[in-house]
């Protein structure tokens, strides 16, 4: 999951790259994480009900690196 602060309106957006189109947002970090859990659950439920395969974890990782300017 990729969490991005929304500097325009506040809160955060969340993207789940392993599940194309699975995105959500929330007013706080905790709210965004709760919304993301629900979005993932609904996404997987929809895949199961439609008989589509559930994507496997690819092992991708994101690491934030700070560099002095």
Q: What is the DSSP letter of 11?
A: S
List, in order, residues 6 or more apart from 3 with CB less than 8 Å away: 12, 13, 14, 29, 32, 33
Q: What tens digit of pLDDT does each residue of 5-57 get?
A: 988 889 999 999 889 999 999 999 999 999 999 999 999 999 999 999 998 87
Higher pLDDT, 26 or 66: 26
pLDDT of residue 45: 97
């Amino acid at each position: 999951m990729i969490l991005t602060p929304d500097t325009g309106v506040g809160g955060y957006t969340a993207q789940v790259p392993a599940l194309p189109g699975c995105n959500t947002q929330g007013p706080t970090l905790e709210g965004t994480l709760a919304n993301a859990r629900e979005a993932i659950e609904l996404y997987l439920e929809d895949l199961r009900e439609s008989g589509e395969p559930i994507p496997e974890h690819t092992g991708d990782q994101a690491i934030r690196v700070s560099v002095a300017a």
